[in-house]
Amino acid sequence: MNIIADAGIQTEILPLADYTFSGCVDCGYCSGLDVPNCSQDDSYTNEFLPRMVDTDVVGYVFASPVYFGGMSSQLKAFFDRSVVFRRTGFRWENLLAGALSVGRSRHGGQELTEMEILRSALIHGMIALSDAAPTAHFGANLWSGYPAGIREDSAGIRTAENLGKKMVSIARKMYG
Ligand SMILES: Cc1cc2nc3c(=O)[nH]c(=O)nc-3n(C[C@H](O)[C@H](O)[C@H](O)COP(=O)(O)O)c2cc1C
């Protein structure tokens, strides 16, 4: 079952681990630009940035492993660099934002990570989503402690499915 694809919504995965970039250096270059750009010559500027200036995008699910009870440094750097989209006209405003986290401890900070992600999304003026009822909490919440990892986490997978359902139902209400 692919809830998003079945609803006719196209998806793309951008794995942060495939790209090399670090955090924002607060150089101020992007302040006042009309078109998003960044002074740092790296994967974020050359590969992410052009792909994320896409007016057809309805929303993003931001995903992270739980590292030390919160989002990974890669995702934090990603959000810090995303200030360019805020400074060039709040380009992510009113896009949908969902959160997915994976931790190896049963209560290792998955919910805190989801809230960190949604907090960052709110700073863009995005619409922060829960997963859909009946699991409705803070997003997709997975435990990788089973021998086969998250594949065995049926309760966690249900929250991920319900996040997809939530995104589809809100997208339909917004865009028909
Ligand atoms: C540096 C580091 C810190 C971690 N901290 C936590 C933690 O605080 N809580 C937790 O549940 N798991 C923690 N883990 C475990 C990862 O969240 C877990 O291995 C997760 O499955 C990684 O996601 P992946 O399987 O998609 O790579 C940590 C792992 C690493 C490498």
Closest residue CA from atom 31 of ligand 1: 67
| CA of 107, closest atom in ligand 1 | 11
Write down all domains in the chain, each with its CATH number in brackets. 25-175 (3.40.50.360)
Closest residue CA from atom 30 of ligand 1: 67
Q: Which residues of 89-98 are buried (b: 16+ CB within 10 A; e: fewer)?
A: eebbeebbbb
Q: What is the pLDDT of residues 112-146, one digit of tens each?
A: 999 999 999 999 999 999 999 999 999 999 999 99
Tell me the percentage of the chain whose pLDDT exceeds 70.
97
Query: What pTM was estimated for this model as a whole?
Result: 0.94
Ligand 1 pocket at CB < 6 A: 65-69, 102-105, 108-109, 144
Q: What is the pLDDT of residues 21-78, one digit of tens each?
A: 999 999 999 998 999 999 999 999 999 898 888 678 999 999 999 999 999 999 999 9
In angstroms, the CA 176 to CA 172 distance is 5
Yes or no: say if 64 and 101 are a contact pair by the CB < 8 Å rule.
yes
Ligand 1 centroid from CA 34, angstroms? 39
In angstroms, the CA 84 to CA 102 distance is 28
In angstroms, the CA 156 to CA 115 distance is 16
User: In this structure, what DSSP letter does residue 94 have?
Assistant: T
